[in-house]
Structure 1
Amino acid sequence: MQLTAEEEALAAGSVGPAVKWAMDYQLAVGRFFGAQRFVQVRSAHAHCDGEALGEPGVRFLEDLADQGARTRIPLTLDPRSTDFSCALEIGQDESIVDIERRILAAMVRMGAMPTNTCINYQTVDVPHGGEHLAWGDTGTVIYANAVAGSRSNFEGGPAAVAAALTGRVPEYGFHLDECRRGTVLVELAEEPRNASDWGALGCLVGRRFPGYWEVPVIDGGQRNPGPDEVKQLGAALASYGSHAMFHLVGVTPEARTRADAFGGNEPWASMRIDRAALESAYLSFPAGGAAPDIVVFGTPQLSTFELAELAALFEGRTARCPVFATTSAAVLRSAEEYGYAETLRAAGVRLLSGVCFYLMTARDLARRNNLRTIVTNSAKLANIVGGYGYTPVFRTTEACVDAAVNARIVG
């Protein structure tokens, strides 16, 4: 890789061992992917929850902080594994609480913002077109690339921390024009009607065209979807297909037309989505006649608009099974100020801050609370949580609320 004089000095340890480690790590990544140089990034976003890191990962972060590691650019943090206000009450172990507190302490010492959110793009760090980022959460990266027109690869936890310490990343993948061009065509014969439908679309496309380097081009829609709808689309694509980018014609800055999206290339394959196809995504998660053991809203975390919608649907009703709604601390404060939180809590909804359900030692929660059937409006959560021993049922937001209130899954 071609290094500037400053980069050579950083790699030589001119500002300490932590930055030298970061440069060594990034050089190894860059050489593996054939990068020719580094590119400067504006911000980093790190996934470092306690369940994933465990004791060795926590010690690694503490060692970096002890070595004097300090961020050069803004560094935000993805959701953690526990809501400190209710961890023990909902059946989590004290050990995960301790690990998360140590992670936060180490990261804050390095200069990170303890945001614990996967919707940083809706709250604290709104991306814009053409800028380079070092983001790590799948849903944040695909949103930044496809909706904002920013440029980022999926940066794993150590890679995102390294980028925060050096202010740069190797220039490969979705930092380059050639990797951002469309590869497959998805034609909409019928418009998705709500956020869950957009998640169902992501489920179908991801299953058909899995692979990090695929860039689906979605065309044919007549309505410009809202931010929470494209949020669900991107999260599902990243979950089912490992995609880091898509083009939504007329929305993605680089895809004002279908021709723009493909950049002169031809799609190697295509698929058509109609109402029956969208319904098939829901039907692939059959209820099997079971009553819900828990209903979960979130993944990605809920926005203020989504909490307002939930409050309207739950108003005057009472949940007959456990209901979790996950969001960020910033959004929860807004929901409390606007009265949405009071309405939801009165209905029996537990509002969780700084977490996503599948990160919350989900297997232990299932065992300790006798949870099996989980109903959710998130296509992404439905895809992931089965690996933790749950039977997921993916439905629209309205159907999930009805399932919680009636203790019965309809349809």
Structure 2
Amino acid sequence: MRLTDEEDAILNGSAGPIRARAMAHIVEVGRFFDAERLVEVSQAHIMADTEALGETGVAYLEGLAAADWEDRRVVIPTITDPRGADFKAYDRIRHDRAIVTLEERARDAFMALGVMMTDTCINYQTIMPPVKGEHLAFGDTGVCIYSNSVFGARTNYEGGPSALASALTARAPAYGFHLDRNRRATQRVIVEAELADYLDWGALGALIGERMGSYFEVPYVEGINAANSDQLKHFGAAMASYGSTALYHVAGLTPEADEALDGREVPEIKLNRADIDSYADRFRREDDTLDVVVFAVPQLSLIELGELAGHLDGRRVVDGTTLIATTNPEMKSAADRMGITKRIEDAGGILLEGVCYYQMHARELAEANGWHRLMTNSAKLTNTIAGYGYAPMVASMARCVDSAVAGRVV
């Protein structure tokens, strides 16, 4: 690997031991992926909830936070993924106080490093969206695929330690989706169906992701004539979850689509309405029991929160069933100001901020509340939550709300 004089100096301690260790980490990751050089990055997004960190990870952050400011501070704008607890509402869902305390310690350590506690997986809808060609060190898979695909920015999936190392050095290894050659389409997907609600978009993303053979597969999607930010959010998040896919192109919509095929012939996949409907059929159950309805993963935009409030207006979630929605602090503040939060909570729902369901110790929540049967409109959550002991079912937002009001799957 070829380092610049500045990078080599940092590696050898010119900027202190913390940055030297961070640069060594980046170099080792780069060598693993056969990177020939590093690339300068302008933003970092860190996945580091306490379910991933544990006591050891939090103690490591606290060790960094104890160093002198000039040695420990991040050198590029650095933000955080959702946390593991909503500090303002954890008691409403019987969150273990020990988990909350660990989250508070992690928060304090990050703030001491100069990290902005945005606590969001939808920073692209809220905080400084990246631009085409901008090199990033982003962590959350939904954040990465949206930034790569919809904006034409450049990032790989960076684990928490790697994103933090980039935040401390403004560098990342130049491999994967930082390079032009890896951003070209490898498969063509022809969609022969009209997409209705967010579930359809998530189902389509899941089906495409399942058909990708590796992280470096890049689908080129045809047949989608229009899409908004929330639709592409569900589409990409599900694709990334089911396929580890980090980049897609949509003909006529995304910024790099025109040059993605470059006249090449690539394998072709066709997906129709029956395929999309079959996704939800996988999760059908014989009984209609229901414990918790969750709108999250990714966090909800202000538009989605307004839609949810509209479905709940004049209705009430039945006793014995819990309805939870999650968003980031900025969206929550706006929802409070606009009366959206009140409409959701007057109907018996719970709106949490700064968290996302599968990252907030979901197994412990299930045990504390007696939850097993979960209903959601998120394909990504459906894919991840079974590993935490839930029996998930996926449906449209409207049907999920109808079920929460009825206290059973309808």
Q: Bin the TM-score by the shorter chain.
A: over 0.9
Counterparts in 2 of 1:271-310, with a 5 A limit? 271-310=269-308
The yes-or-no answer on 1:111 pairing with 2:110 is: no
1:271 shift after superposition: 1.9
Aligned residue in 2 for 1:46: 46
The residue that corresponds to 1:262 in the other structure is 261
The CA deviation at 1:210 is 4.3
Q: Which residue of structure 1 lines up, in the alignment, with residue 177 of structure 2? A: 174
- Distance, in Å, in 1 between the alignment partners of 2:349 and 2:326 is 10
Residue in structure 1 matched with residue 399 of structure 2 by the alignment:
399
Aligned counterparts, 1:6-405, within 5 A: 6-67=6-67, 68-222=71-225, 224-256=226-258, 260-267=259-266, 269-320=267-318, 321-405=321-405
Q: Deviations over 1:11-32 (max 9, x none)?
A: 1111111100100000001111
Question: Residues of 1 paired with 2:368 and 2:105: CA distance?
Answer: 25
- Aligned to 1:192, the other structure's residue is in SS state coil
1:142–1:238 Cα contact (<8 Å) kept:
yes
Give the Cα separation in 1 of the matches to 2:220 and 2:287. 37
CA distance in 1, matches of 2:270, 2:401: 30
CA–CA separation in structure 1 for the residues paired with 2:97 and 2:386: 25
Counterpart CA distance in 1 for 2:351 and 2:174 is 40
Write the letter of the residue equivalent to 2:293. V
The residue type paired with residue 317 of structure 1 is R
For residues 201 and 239 of structure 1, what CA distance do their matches in structure 2 show? 12
| Shift, 1:69, TM fit | 1.3
Deviations along 1:130-168, one digit per CA (max 9) or x if unpaired, are 110100000000000000000000000000000000011
Structure 1 runs not aligned, ≥5 long: none
What are the superposed Cα offsets for residues 335-368 of structure 1, whole Å, 9 maximum, x if unpaired?
1111111110101110000001111111111112
Amino acid at match of 1:366: A
Aligned equivalents of 2:346, 2:90: Cα separation in 1: 20
Identity across aligned pairs (percent)? 47
SS of 2:72's equivalent in the other structure is coil
Counterpart amino acid of residue 205 in structure 1:
I
Deviations 1:294-331 (A, max 9, x none): 00001100000000111111100101110000000100
CA distance in 2, matches of 1:22, 1:264: 41
- CA offset at residue 108 of structure 1? 0.7
SS of the equivalent of 2:383 reads helix
Q: Is the 8 A contact 1:295 1:375 kept in 2?
A: yes
**Alpha-carbon contact 2:212-2:245 (below 8 Å) kept:** no
Question: Does the 8 Å contact 1:210/1:242 carry over to 2?
Answer: no
How many Å apart are 1:84 and its aligned residue?
1.0
1:196 partner amino acid: L
SS at the partner of 2:294?
strand
Q: Is the 8 A contact 1:210 1:243 kept in 2?
A: no
Matched AA of 1:274 = N
Residue pair 1:210, 1:240 contacting (<8 A) in 2 also? no
Which amino acid is 2:12 matched to?
A
User: Would the aligned equivalents of 2:190 and 2:222 in 1 still touch at CA under 8 Å?
Assistant: yes
Deviations for 1:53-89, whole angstroms, at most 9, x for unmatched residues? Answer: 1000001111122233111100000001111122233
Cα distance in 1 for residues equivalent to 2:180 and 2:254:
14
- Taking the aligned partners of 1:96 and 1:295, their CA distance within structure 2 comes to 23
- Letter aligned with residue 269 of structure 2: M
Question: Residue type matched to 1:128 in 2?
Answer: V
Tell me how far apart the structure 2 counterparts of residues 398 and 287 of structure 1 sit (CA, whole Å): 19
For residue 272 of structure 1, report the CA deviation from its aligned partner.
1.4
Cα offset, 1:377, TM superposition: 0.6
Contact 2:78 2:115 in 1 (8 A): yes
Alignment partner of 1:39: what SS?
strand
> Please, what TM-score do these two structures have when normalized by structure 1?
0.97
For 1:10 and 1:93, how far apart are their aligned partners in 2? Answer: 41
* C-alpha deviation, 1:248, in angstroms: 1.1
Give the letter for the 2:316 counterpart. T
SS for the counterpart of 2:257 is: coil
How much is the aligned-residue C-alpha RMSD, in angstroms? 1.1
Q: Distance in 2 between matches of 1:41 and 1:247?
A: 23
